[in-house]
Every structure is written in structure tokens, then in C-alpha cells.
Amino acid sequence: MSRRAVAGLVAAGVLAAGCGSSSSRSSSARLATATPVPSTQTHTQPPPTKPAPPAPRPASSLPPGNNGSLPQTHQQPSSDTPAFKAEMAALWSGVQTNSVQAALPAFFPEPAYAQVKAISDPQGDWQSRLAGNFKLDLAAAHNLLGSGSANAQLVEVDVPSQYAHWVDPGACYNRLGYWEVPNSRVVYREGGQIKSFGIASMISWRGYWYVVHMGSVTGGGGTVDDPETGKGTPASSSTC
């Protein structure tokens, strides 16, 4: 074979090798581009947020609901306690709205009355006479406030602790004793003026004062005890 022919064959081989190498690199590039590289980053969803729990209701300062069903004690009540102020706020709400239901937390409990009274039907007497008169007395106090009842503000309830006394069992048809205080004063502001009326009698149960006669101890209900302009003056009286 001539030198020129050998040279031609060598050149052809080089060209063929060059074309094959270019094609192989191009194919490898296409494969690399077509195959995605898995990501090493992970995406986590935040945990669902739980709703905040509701705020707890503040504990009531009123005497316990079962207080009247528990045994009596000899503890003398105080008018300078959160419980007494809560009771008088309930009483005032009942006067403003003419509502026995609103004022009932301030009223002597029926179960306690059933323990106190040595009579044949204390529950019936509580419902028909005691609570019945209380309802009429609330209405009378509400009418005393008149059109300004919604805006009248309770200032204080002045309890004459110097007149408080222990009522022994056997008095006033009672089988149990209790503390009694007469003629406390409900002091309120109406139309910029200080006014007041009385609570005829409050008696104790387990160290709490409760209204038992609001307008009158002996009356039939529907009266306001000694309404006055100004704070008024509590007076002593020998009531049960």
C-alpha cells in the first residue's frame, strides 16, 4: 500500500474517533440534564396551632349555694367582706330591675328557714309569706327609685353592728338560734343626690347576713322602710 493510502486511512480513523467521542459526550450531557438530582432539603409543615383555652370564670363571692342546707353556726357575720358586698349588689340589682330572682342570693335561704322554724310547714311559710312579702317590698323599692332606677348607683349598705344580737332558740317560734341586726341602711345616689332606705331585719346563717324582712317585720309586704334624703340613721329595735 502506498504512503498516501496509509495516511488517508489514518486520517479517516482519527475523524471517526473524534465523531464518536463528541456524540458520547453529548448523550451523557443529555442524560444528566434529563435526570433530576434529588434534593437534600426537607420541607416540614408546622404543627397546627391549638386554640387558646377559654379564660376561667372568676369565682363568685356569694355564699355557697348549699349554705342553707348545712348546720347553723354561732359565727357573727361581718358587713366588711366580699360575700356581703356581693349579696348587697344582688339585692340592689333586684331593686333596680324589680326582680326577685336577681335579689334572691341576698335573701334568707329556704333550707335554712326550714331548719330554724319550729312550725308545721316552714317551706310553705317561706314561699307564701316570707318570699311573697320580699317580692312586694322589692317592687315598692323599685317604684321609689322611679324613672331613674336604671342609673341609680348603690353607694353602701350601712349595717349597725352595735345593734346586732343573738336570738336564742325558743324565741319567735325558732328551734335554732341566729344573729339578728335591725334597720340597716341602703345608701344610693340618684340624679346626683344621696338617698337611702332601710332593711328592716337581717339574720345570720353560718356567718353570713341575709335579708329576712326588707320593708317591715310585721307588715304584709309592699312597703319601703324609712326612705330618706341622705344616708339616714340606723336605729335599734328588738326584732326576731
Query: pLDDT at position 156, please?
Result: 98
pLDDT, tens only, 78-101: 999 999 999 999 999 999 999 999
pLDDT, tens only, 159-172: 999 999 999 999 98
pLDDT, tens only, 180-220: 999 999 999 999 999 999 999 999 999 999 999 999 999 88
Mean pLDDT computed over every residue of the chain: 84
Number of H helices, E strands in the chain: 6, 6
pLDDT, tens only, 125-145: 999 999 999 999 999 999 999
Mean pLDDT of 53-60: 61
Is 134 within 8 Å of 147 (Cβ atoms)?
no
Identify any residues that bridge with 117 across adjacent strands, giving them in sequence order: 174
Identify any residues that bridge with 93 across adjacent strands, giving them in sequence order: none
Please state, in angstroms and as integers, the Cα–Cα distance from residue 170 to each residue in 76, 119, 177, following that order. 19, 11, 8
The answer, yes or no, to whether residue 16 has pLDDT greater than 60, is: no
d(CA 89, CA 99): 13
